[in-house]
């Protein structure tokens, strides 16, 4: 869990605290912390009180967005830090179109994962 750079913070349209995520997923906060620890979600410290936050786009229909966990695993295997992963996921790509995070939410995860795999080459 890292503190967020202001530039990357600005790329992410909305954030949720761990208790917010727990409520949406219908689980305890300790389970959300475990998801972060396991690399299934990215949490960063931000705001005045440096509380942990997760990008709101990672949650859809009260679940973790389909394809996110696999994409995060690929990026981690490529050597990306949490901050670099957030930057990649939330930077617009005109060939996609949109951001990789938007593509995941729109069920276009196959293309996002293909691009994440290509980064390792």
Residue-wise pLDDT for 35-90, tens only, equals 999 999 999 998 888 899 999 999 999 999 999 999 999 999 999 999 999 999 99
Query: At 83, phi and psi to the nearest 5?
Result: -65, -40
Residue 33 covered by a domain: yes
As a whole number of angstroms, the distance between CA 46 and CA 9 comes to 8
**pLDDT for position 120:** 72
Query: Residue 1: is its pLDDT beyond 60?
Result: no
State the DSSP H helix or E strand holding residue 18, giving kind and residue range, or none if neither: helix 18-25
- Residue 58 belongs to some domain of the structure: yes
Domain total of the chain: 1
Residue 1 within a domain: no
pLDDT at 106 over 80: yes
pLDDT at 26: 96
Range of the domain at 37: 6-119
Cα distance between residue 8 and residue 91, in whole Å: 9
Q: How many CB atoms lie within 10 A of CB 7?
A: 9
* Bridge partners, residue 44, by sequence: 2, 53
Average pLDDT of the chain, as a whole number: 92
């Amino acid at each position: 869990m890292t503190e967020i750079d202001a530039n990357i913070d600005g790329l992410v349209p909305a954030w949720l605290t761990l208790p917010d995520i727990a409520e949406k997923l219908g689980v305890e906060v300790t389970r959300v912390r475990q998801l972060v620890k396991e690399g299934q979600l990215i949490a960063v410290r931000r705001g005045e009180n440096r509380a942990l936050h997760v990008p709101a786009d990672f949650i859809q229909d009260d679940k973790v967005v389909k394809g996110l966990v696999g994409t995060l695993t690929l990026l981690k295997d490529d050597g990306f830090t949490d901050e670099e992963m957030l930057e990649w996921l939330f930077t617009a790509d005109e060939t996609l179109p949109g951001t990789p995070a938007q593509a995941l939410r729109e069920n276009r995860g196959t293309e996002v994962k293909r691009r994440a795999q290509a980064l390792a080459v």
